[in-house]
Amino acid sequence: MAYRAASQLLQLRIILIIIIFMMSMTRKIVTVALVAGFVGMAGFASASHADDAQPQLTFANGRFEPAAFNVAAGTPIRLKVMNNGDAPIEFESFELNRERVVQPGRSITVQLPKLDPGQYHFFDDFHHEVAQGTITAQ
């Protein structure tokens, strides 16, 4: 009987050691998963931040703001065009081969290809009296 009790006590100790070992392994796995998750979130945040840096063009009071801005040459660009005016406008550029209508109070995103260094003019084709703007790729 004493032998059996000792054997059961040994089995309990072995089971306890296995449980403790598994718990420490679980903590390691959870730690690795958390670190991987934070690294992934940091990458997502930087990618999201890059999207926030897209150039914005606003039409208000009969003019574009800013009327001239710079972009990086050799990289695709997403240009956000917002119309804060009371009438539709048409963002147009012969050099960029783009023309898009923007309704009042709305915005659009104009996808631009990788631009060679240089200047690209744009204007509102619906209102020719509006000053033109310039995108400079450098």
132 alpha-carbon distance from chain centroid: 29
Q: How many residues does the chain have?
A: 138
**Closest by alpha carbon to 132, among 72, 84, 89, 79?**
89
Q: Token pair of 137, please? A: 């790729």
Residue type, 19: I
- What pLDDT does 39 receive? 52
Q: Given this structure, which CATH class describes domain 56-137?
A: mainly beta
In the prediction, which pLDDT does 9 show?
A: 75
Mean pLDDT for back-to-back runs of 10 residues, the chain (138 residues): 71 80 69 53 47 80 91 94 93 94 95 95 88 91
Q: Give CA–CA dist 130/60, Å, rounded.
A: 11
Closest CA to 120 of 102, 104, 97: 97
What is the rounded distance in angstroms from the CA atom of residue 92 to the CA atom of residue 13?
Answer: 79
Q: What is the per-residue pLDDT for 51?
A: 45
- Reported pTM: 0.60
